[in-house]
Each structure stands twice: as C-alpha cells, then as structure tokens.
Amino acid sequence: MLTALRTFFLLSLLLAISPAQAQSRGPLVLAAASLQEAMSDAARVWASRKHAQPVLSFAGSSALARQIEAGAPADLFISADEQWMDHVAAKGRLKPGTRAPFLRNQLVLIAPANNRTTLRVARNFPLARALGNGRLAMADPVAVPAGKYGRQALTTLGVWASVQGHIAPAENVRAALLLVERGEVPFGIVYATDARASSKVRIVGTFPPASHAPITYPIATLKASKHPEAEAFRRFLLSREGKAIFARRGFAVR
Amino acid sequence: MTAAEWEIITLSLKVSGVAVLLTMPIAFALAWLLARGRFPGKIILDALVHLPLVLPPVVTGWLLLIAFGNNGPVGRWLAQWLGFTFMFSWTGAALAAAIMALPLMVRAMRLSIEAVDPRLEAAARTLGASPWRSFLTITLPLARPGLLAGAVLGFARSIGEFGATITFVSNIPGETQTIPLAIYGALQLPGNEAAVTRLAIIAVALSLGALIISEWLARRSGLGKGGHVL
Amino acid sequence: MSFEIHIERRLGEANIALSLASDGGVTALFGPSGAGKSSVLNMVAGLLRPDKGRIAVDGVLLFDDATGLNLAPEQRRAGYVFQDGRLFPHKRVRDNLLYGWRLVSPESRWMTLDQAIDFLGIAHLLDRWPRSLSGGEAQRVAIGRALLSGPRFLLMDEPLSSLDAARREEILRVIERVRDELKLPILYVSHDQAEVERLASTIVPLHPKA
C-alpha cells in the first residue's frame, strides 16, 4: 500500500514538472460555442507548424465574458456578438488595438433530419402552427447571442409573440442543436455553421440577414494575456489562410 | 421579492419535494439490498448507484435526454402508452433532481440499516418472527431516523441541482426554472446583482436548513460511531 | 430424551464437534471462553447452520443434514436468553415481554403476562425503557420475554456473567424455579464451575479444538 502510494506521488510529481508538457501548452483561447469545429481545425494547423498547441475553451459568450470579468488568465477572446465584447472592453480587459472584426455567420431554422416539413422563412410565416404542441429550441433568448439574434429575427418577422411561450431555452446554441438532433423538438434556431456541423438536422430556411443585427464574431487579445505566441496566433487567425479554415466550415469572412 | 421570484421558489420546492418523495422507496430498497443482500454483482450495483455522484452533471443530463426524452427508449414508451412526457416539464426537472439525490439517499439509508444490530433481528427470529416481520417490527423502526436523515439530505442536494436539469429539460420559466437555473439566467445579464443575491440567499438557507435537520436526525438515531450521515 | 445434539462445524480456525444426549433438567455446556459454546446454542436455535449432524429436542427433529432438514428459527419454539439480553431498545418492557407472546398461537402459550411478571418480580418495570434498567432487571425481563413466547425449551447463554454477586444469586434462584416449577428442558452455557454444579443435572465439557 505504501509503495503504491509513493509510486503514485512520484509519478504525479514527474508529470507536474515535466518540461515537455510545459513547453507544449499554447495560448488559451476563449471562444463562442459555435466556433468549436473551426477553431479546432485552426489550432491543429497552427500546431502542425511547430507551434505550441493552443488550448481552447468553448462556452456561451456570456459565460466567457463573466469569466474574463472575474480575471480569467486567458489570451484571446472570440465573442459571438459585439455586445459581450463591448462589455468586456468597458471593464478594461482588452489589450488596446487588438480588437478586430473576424467572422460572420447566418441564422437558420432547422428541423430533425427526418422531418420533411417545408416552411418559407419570411414575414408572418406560420411557425407557431408548424410547432403545434412542440417547442422551438434556441439558445437562451435573454442573454446568449445566438438566442438574442433569433429573438430579434423572429420579432422583425412579426412571429415572436406567437412563439414566445413555446421556446425551449437551452444553455448555449450547441445544446439547442442537441435537442433538434434528438428529435425532442420539431424546430430549432442555430447558426448556419452549427447546422452544417451536424448530419442529424436539416436546414428548413435561412433568416434574411436584414431581420437581425449582423452576426459578427470580433476577436481581441486580453490584457491578462501572457503567452508569447498569443499575438502570433491572433495574426494567423486573421490571415487569409486562417480565415480560409473558417470559411471551409461555413463562416463568412471579410 | 417579486411574484416571479416566488414562482421560482415554489417550483423548486415542488420539484425537490416530489423528487425526494418518489425516490425514497427506491432508495430504501437499494439501501436494503446493499446493506443486507448477498448476491453476485453487488459491487456493480453499488457503483451504478453512486454514478450520478461522480459523473459530471451535464453527462447525467445528457444520458437522461438519451433515455427519457421523447425519442429515447423509456420516453417513447411512456409517451406511447401513458401519454406522458418528461420533456420541458417540471416532471423532467424532478427526474433529474431525483437521479442526483439518489446516491446520497442510498448512502445514508444504507448506513442506518447497517447500524441496526443484526443480533436484535436474530433475537426477534427466535421469538417467532419471520424475516419479514422482523424487518417491519425491528429493523425499520430502528432505522427510521436515519432514513429520514437520508431523505432530507437528498432534498438538500436536489434543491441545488443544475447541470443535469438544464441539459435535459432546458431553462423554461414556470416549468423547469428552479432556483439554480434562475440564478444562472440572472447572472447572464449584467446589473442583475440584486435578484441574484436574493435567490442565492434563499438557496443557501434552504440547503443549510435541510443539512442541519438531516444531521440532527442522524445523531438522534446514533448512526455509526460518530452518529452522522456526511 | 430432551436434548439430542450431534453436530460438527468449522468456525474460523477451529472445529466444533459435540455429541450429547440428555434427559430433563438443566444440561450445561461448560468450558472456557472461545470454546464455541455460544455457537452451539446458535445452532440449536437455528441461527447458525452446522456442517454435519442432527439436532432434536424433546423428540422434535430440528436439523438433520442427512435429509436436508433445517427448521427456520421462528419455527423451532426455542426460548433464547442471550448473554447481552438483547432487549429491543425501541419498545418498552411490556412490549418486549409480549413480542413473542403475540406471535405464537394461543394454545401454545402456557403462561400469561401476569404469571410471568409475578414469577420474575418485574411488575414495576412494565412501562420502563430497556436502557433505563439495571443489569439484573434487564436479565429478568429477557427471561420473561423468552418464557412468554411459549417455548418448548430454553437456551441460556451465560445469563449471569454481566451481573454482580447479589443479582447473580437472584437470577440463579429464578432459573432454579424455572427448572423445578415449569419443567422446561434448559440448555445452559457457562464458564463458571460453581454455577454449573449448582444448576445442572448433566454437564458437558466443551474444549476448544484446533
């Protein structure tokens, strides 16, 4: 028993001080949930160029903003809307001169893959009727960007009031996607990139860009950033090659 | 305290109350099996019962979705034969709360059953009691304070349940928005500190109260050497 | 033939082997601690299963490994007085006394509650909780509880060991009265030679065997 304990202790010590591990840790990136696949692609390409592997953390932009506000020691922040980036900037957490527009996305109405309903997403479209007894899955329309855009679009199209009481507010846009994938809801509102990432849902229609504020993903370096390669990685993401990686996943790039 | 906040509190109490009440017999049966039973696979049963305690709550919520959602094996059966669904309903929140409370309840109840001296049960048998009667007249009354302690502990845990609930049935005001989900939602908006504080105080008070009652009950029954469940 | 006990059982590192046939009165199992005396009583009561052998009391077969017979404890009608009393802590003395009485059929009861409390002198204890009783009082209640369950024989496991001298004398007299007035076969376990010589008509030595 004692020898096992000692061995375990020595092993953990070894791992903790292992130089190889310390060197392989790249910049910490806090990114909106909808960037999961694309960001992982970009990080892999970056690491294959003999750079340290970036560490990625995905969550709802509101949760990430709160973490940054509380002093999270991260390097880069990519938000799913301008408002949360503004919020973080107002708290003085951004490194001046590093904020830049990065990606754009579209909002789509999705259904489970085996649901063949057709609906044209336009003014006053019969979404409430199509929902029937079911709910509309979307990220929380109060605070999560994907949800806020969705609510904005539905309001512009004059449909929000009729579906307001039939929402399933999910923790983030990926959780909303999961509900549609599982067939627990007849429809959901997610980003075009999320719909593309899943083979279990189909896109019923795209919300007209005019029905909501532009979905832009700003990127910025945080004041707390300490990693020497943070700036280089940010530049890589904003480069033509970096943006191409995101375009392959369905994002629109400037 | 606004009307909306009262609704959140009463929903939480309803969800947790129902969860604990319905889980009690199941937790007791499992506790009994684990305390006194001798059968192959007992270790596996023990591990399964403790799973919700160690799994990330989101994983538990995801598993609930897979199994009890309308398209899951159990959910589909319930919808088809009983016209009943957990999805987006307070019953789903109660199910999530019950699953998360189960391991703690089983642990406490098992301790209280094990604390009953089996020699007393043996004495009852020699006096003419069948195993079942011995259980009803000796084991159960002696274990009762510990059983109650387990139930109250489960209640305390279920009041704070968040990850499994929001993953399984999402955050619907009036249906699944219990106190933790409401606090989470309120935290999403800047400048909501007052509402968050009020709800947090309620949550702390409920949980603390339940914990204290549970400990007091456990000490009364003289559980274990130290007489406590935690 | 009151007690016919031929049993063998492995207990931990030791083996118990006992062969006895006795007739009436008190049959005492006498030996030092650890010799397995309590285990013998448990086997007669049905709480422990022998590896091999046969147990009959007053002609009624309780255990026979040849035929696979093994009566459950509740069917053996044994009145077991334990070394540690084992009164139910959540019941008052009255309910302890009546526990077995309530479970047995009326024709098998050969004593009423009043008779028992007279015999044992415990009328003043009826409403007390077991934890408030002295050693002697608890032992008397334990004997009363066993007697009231309508047993056909008694098993007594060192009933005097936790008592002081005065109490010991008191209970010894009670047991003598049970032996002489109620005429039940008693299987009695003790490590005290004087006790055993005073009470028993048959003494069976039991030594620890490795």
- Kindly state whether residue C210 falls inside one of the protein's structural domains: no
Q: Is the pLDDT of residue C26 over 70?
A: yes
Quickly list H helices, chain A.
2-17, 19-23, 36-48, 61-69, 82-90, 127-131, 145-156, 160-163, 173-181, 192-197, 230-238, 240-248
Alpha carbon distance B77, B62 (integer Å)? 19
DSSP letter string over A139-175?
Answer: E-TTTSHHHHHHHHHHHHTT-HHHHGGGEEEESSHHH
Q: A2-104+216-253 has which CATH code? A: 3.40.190.10
What residue ranges of chain A are covered by domains with CATH 3.40.190.10? Answer: 2-104+216-253, 107-206
Helix, strand, coil percent content, chain A, rounded in steps of 5: 45, 25, 30
- pLDDT one-digit tens code per residue, B18-46: 999 999 999 999 998 999 888 899 999 99
Give the gap in angstroms from C-alpha A165 to the nearest C-alpha of chain B: 9
Tell me, yes or no, whether chains A and C touch by having 3 or more C-beta pairs under 8 A. no
Exposure letters A187-220 (e unless 16+ CB within 10 A, then b): bbbbbbbbbbbbeebbebbebeeebbeebbbbbb
pTM over 0.95: no
How many domains does chain C divide into? 1
- Kindly state whether residue C194 falls inside one of the protein's structural domains: yes
Contacts of B129 in chain C (CB under 8 A): 74, 99, 103
Contacts of A66 in chain B (CB under 8 A): 187
Domains of chain B with bracketed CATH: 3-220 (1.10.3720.10)
CATH number for the domain spanning C93: value is 3.40.50.300
- Kindly state whether residue C159 falls inside one of the protein's structural domains: yes
Q: From 3.30.950.10, 3.40.190.10, 3.40.640.10, 3.40.50.10300, which CATH number describes the A107-206 domain?
A: 3.40.190.10
- pLDDT one-digit tens code per residue, C93-107: 999 999 999 999 888
In 3-state terms, what secondary structure has residue A253?
A: strand
Selected residue of A58, A85, A148, A171 to mutate for chain B interface (largest B Cβ count, 10 A): A171
Contacts of B128 in chain C (CB under 8 A): 74, 77, 100, 103-104, 149
- Kindly state whether residue C135 falls inside one of the protein's structural domains: yes
Q: Is the pLDDT of residue B179 over 80?
A: yes
Q: Return the residue matching tokens 């399964």.
A: B48
Alpha carbon distance B224, A2 (integer Å)? 28
- pLDDT one-digit tens code per residue, C103-119: 998 888 888 899 889 88
Encode chain A (254 residues) as per-residue pLDDT tens digits: 677 777 777 776 666 555 444 456 889 999 998 898 899 999 999 999 999 999 999 988 888 998 898 888 899 999 988 889 999 999 999 999 999 999 999 999 999 999 888 889 999 999 999 999 899 999 989 878 889 999 999 999 999 999 999 999 998 888 999 999 999 999 999 999 989 889 999 999 999 999 999 999 999 999 989 999 999 999 999 999 999 999 999 898 86
Alpha carbon distance B151, B101 (integer Å)? 9
Whether residue B142 and residue C90 make contact (CB cut-off 8 A), yes or no, is yes
B96-118 mean pLDDT: 92
Tell me the β-bridge partners of C157. Answer: C189
Alpha carbon distance A204, C53 (integer Å)? 81
| Tokens found for residue B203 | 């949550």
Q: What confidence category does residue C207 fall into, taking pLDDT thresholds of 50, 70 and 90? A: confident
Q: Is the pLDDT of residue B189 over 90?
A: no
Give the gap in angstroms from C-alpha A114 to the nearest C-alpha of chain B: 13
The range of the structural domain enclosing residue C168 comes to 3-205
pLDDT value for A254: 66
